Amino acid sequence: MVENWGALVVPLLGRLALAMVALFIGISVIRWLMTLLSSRMDRSKVDPSLRTFVVPLLRTILQILLAVSVASMLGAEMTSFIAVLGAAGFAVGLALQGSLSNFAGGVLILLLKPFKVGDFVEAGGFLGTVKEIQVFYTILDTPDNRRITIPNANLSNSSTVNFSSYPTRRIEWKFGVGYESDIIKVKELLLKMLAEHPKLLDDPAPTVYLTEHADSALVLTVRAWASAGDVWPTYFEMMEKVKLAFDENNINIPFPQMDVHMNK
């Protein structure tokens, strides 16, 4: 009886030891391959969007193959194992339809390239810089230092505004002046300020137009072009400078007022 048990246990222990060694070596090899692949992609200047998507996906595939190989070493019949794995995969697929949609969305993002890592975008109702495009999610970092995780399915099926597609962008301001103001003088003053600003481009040339006769003001629309990275600093600088210039030149900036009459 003991001999029978020994005949059964010894081969089992041998297969178990071989499977453990294979598992350890396989994990080490996968880790080494992923590190090598990442470094090669970095040196080859591969799009970071592709790297953050491909490396985790390939790691998962290799880990599944390793698990199948280890199971076969332990004596599992491959036909039965694959059938069970397929049935489990089908069940998991039904349960994770959203995740599969996110995976398909990630593939579409990489193929169509509406944005890439490093772009500043408005997506899913958020403004932020794209940090990673993962298998199921895209990671944004907002200007106020929040990290936003958005499912890829949402991004691939909705509108996305990419503020980094072009090296330059147009800035627009609206300034109101009183009806008694000399519009020609105001336009000349604004054009002079635009021409003197070091971050605004000469081509396309800045423009100033009277665009609205509002209830209490004449509204001038000012447009100028700047490098994409200078848009917001330039916008706020001009808002302050125009106010100071209007005060210095006695140009009235109207504001809503209300007269209240009280009957005794």
Distance CA 171, CA 193 (A): 14
Q: Which pLDDT score, from 0 to 100, does residue 245 have?
A: 95
Amino acid, single-letter form, for residue 237: E
Q: Which pLDDT score, from 0 to 100, does residue 95 have?
A: 45
Q: Which pLDDT score, from 0 to 100, does residue 1 have?
A: 47
Say if CB 254 and CB 216 are below 8 A apart: yes
CA 110, 113, 116, 121 torsion-angle sign: negative
- 259 to 121, 155, 240, 264: CA distances (angstroms): 46, 51, 29, 16
Ranges of residues in the chain whose predicted pLDDT is under 70: 1-14, 44-53, 74-98, 256-264
Q: Could you tell me whether strands 161-162 and 147-151 are parallel, antiparallel, or unpaired per DSSP bridges?
A: unpaired
Distance CA 80, CA 192 (A): 80
DSSP H helical ranges for the chain: 2-43, 48-73, 78-95, 97-112, 152-156, 183-196, 231-248
Query: Domain residues of the chain, as ranges?
Result: 2-95, 106-162, 168-248
Distance CA 111, CA 124 (A): 19
Q: Which pLDDT score, from 0 to 100, does residue 22 have?
A: 75
CA 89, 93, 99, 103 torsion-angle sign: positive
Class for domain 168-248, per CATH?
Answer: alpha beta
106-162 maps to which CATH number? 2.30.30.60
Distance CA 156, CA 162 (A): 13
Q: Tell me, which fold does domain 2-95 have in CATH?
A: Helix Hairpins (1.10.287)
- 73 to 23, 59, 159, 190: CA distances (angstroms): 10, 21, 50, 79
Q: Which pLDDT score, from 0 to 100, does residue 2 have?
A: 47
Q: Which pLDDT score, from 0 to 100, does residue 120 have?
A: 93
**Quick count: other Cβ atoms within 10 Å of Cβ 212?**
13
Identify the DSSP state of 217: -
Q: Which pTM was predicted?
A: 0.61
Q: Which pLDDT score, from 0 to 100, does residue 101 have?
A: 81
Q: Which pLDDT score, from 0 to 100, does residue 80 have?
A: 57
Q: Is 137 helix (H, G, I), strand (E, B) or coil?
A: strand
Q: Which pLDDT score, from 0 to 100, does residue 67 have?
A: 77
pLDDT tens-digit series, residues 179-237: 999 999 999 999 999 999 999 999 999 999 999 998 889 999 999 999 998 999 999 99
Say if CB 153 and CB 123 are below 8 A apart: no
